[in-house]
Amino acid sequence: MKLEWGILISVWIITVCMVFIIPKEKRRIALAAFLFKQGVTWLSGLAVVEYHLISYPVRLFSDINRSSFTFEFFVYPVVCGVFNSYYPKSRGNLFKFLYFCIYCTILTVIEIPIEKYTKIINYINWAWYWTWITLFLTFLLTRLYILWFLKGISKEID
């Protein structure tokens, strides 16, 4: 159990530090992405747990919720804020696609050993490729939301 709680604490510290790499002029974009992503991942995370696709044996607020508060409500939304604040708006479509793929791959590669060697996450009827696909789709959904929400307000978006 010490390993799992050490990982969770480390993830929280790293994620808090990630907030400070967001450029000042991109904070509005990052905050919009963060808040939108919280809604999406909170609902989808609850659905995944309720349908017994994934379980989180070691988690914060275990008496209140069976989903992963750390990932669904904090880590993934912050990463999405960073993703959108550094989005390569002036690059080609192939580069943008690879940008999506890099973020999804890094998060999936981190999750695989956590699932295999700890009790933080347990795949029941799930596989790593479902994680990658859902990450890609939610990153895309958030990017589309940012484009819609900030259209006409900010010249920083595509």
Q: What is the pLDDT of residues 11-57, one digit of tens each?
A: 999 999 999 999 999 999 999 999 999 999 989 999 999 999 999 99
State mean pLDDT over 93-97.
97
Is residue 106 in a domain?
A: yes
Is residue 23 in a domain?
A: no
> Does the pLDDT at position 104 exceed 80?
yes
Nearest to 85 by CA among 41, 138, 27, 40: 27
> Does the pLDDT at position 100 exceed 70?
yes
Is residue 154 in a domain?
A: no
Tell me what percent of the residues of the chain surpass a pLDDT of 90: 85
> Does the pLDDT at position 156 exceed 60?
no
pLDDT of the residue at 76: 96
> Does the pLDDT at position 153 exceed 70?
no
> Does the pLDDT at position 67 exceed 80?
yes
Is residue 116 in a domain?
A: yes
Average pLDDT of the chain, as a whole number: 93
Q: b/e map of 49-79 (b: 16 or more CB within 10 Å)?
A: beeeebbbebbeeeeebbbbbbbbbbbbbbb
State mean pLDDT over 139-147.
96
pTM flag (> 0.85): yes
State mean pLDDT over 74-90.
96
Is residue 96 in a domain?
A: yes
Is residue 139 in a domain?
A: yes
Is residue 44 in a domain?
A: yes
Integer Cα distance of 158 and 150 in angstroms = 10
Q: Please give the tally of structural domains in the chain.
A: 1
Range of the domain at 49: 2-17+31-149
